[in-house]
């Protein structure tokens, strides 16, 4: 599995990478601009990500805007339906409004509220058939 972890807090990126170390190669970026660039490069190189873990509260380009741009890149490159990447919002914002924005405006795959445990993350990845439980 290939994962892109997007969070402006280095400790959060390192924690998530540690959780996934046994099941995924992880690229870590600190903002939406870097995420969009790596995501597009991966698609162009024919090695798209299987999973994106995306924070919402980031400077410059927030997670909601990043999400929309990632989904637009997928559409631009014909990666729709079953070819779409699983994008999980991993955020401290425990708000139904933000969750609905993520699902209905950006088409995220799921929404996890921090702090996220390894067990919770792996249960979600198993549910999405990204790993075997």
52-81 tens-digit pLDDT: 999 999 998 999 999 999 999 999 999 988
pTM of the model: 0.96
Cα distances (angstroms) measured from residue 90 to each of 13, 49, 68: 11, 17, 15
Task: For the chain, list the domains and their CATH numbers.
Answer: 16-115 (3.40.50.2300)
18-54 tens-digit pLDDT: 999 999 999 999 999 999 999 999 999 999 999 999 9
Interatomic CA distance for residues 9 and 74, integer angstroms = 26
The number of angstroms, rounded, from the C-alpha of 56 to the middle of its chain's C-alpha atoms is: 10
């Amino acid at each position: 599995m290939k994962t892109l972890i997007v969070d402006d807090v280095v400790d959060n990126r390192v924690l998530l990478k540690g959780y996934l170390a046994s099941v995924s190669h992880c690229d870590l970026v600190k903002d939406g601009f870097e995420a969009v660039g790596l995501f597009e490069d991966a698609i162009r190189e024919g090695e798209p990500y299987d999973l994106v873990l995306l924070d919402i509260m980031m400077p410059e380009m927030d997670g909601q805007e990043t999400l929309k741009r990632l989904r637009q890149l997928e559409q631009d490159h014909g990666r729709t339906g079953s070819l779409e990447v699983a994008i999980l919002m991993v955020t401290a914002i425990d708000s139904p409004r933000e969750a609905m924005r993520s699902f209905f405006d950006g088409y995220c795959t799921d929404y996890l509220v921090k702090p996220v445990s390894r067990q919770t993350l792996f249960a979600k990845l198993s549910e999405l058939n990204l790993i075997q439980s």
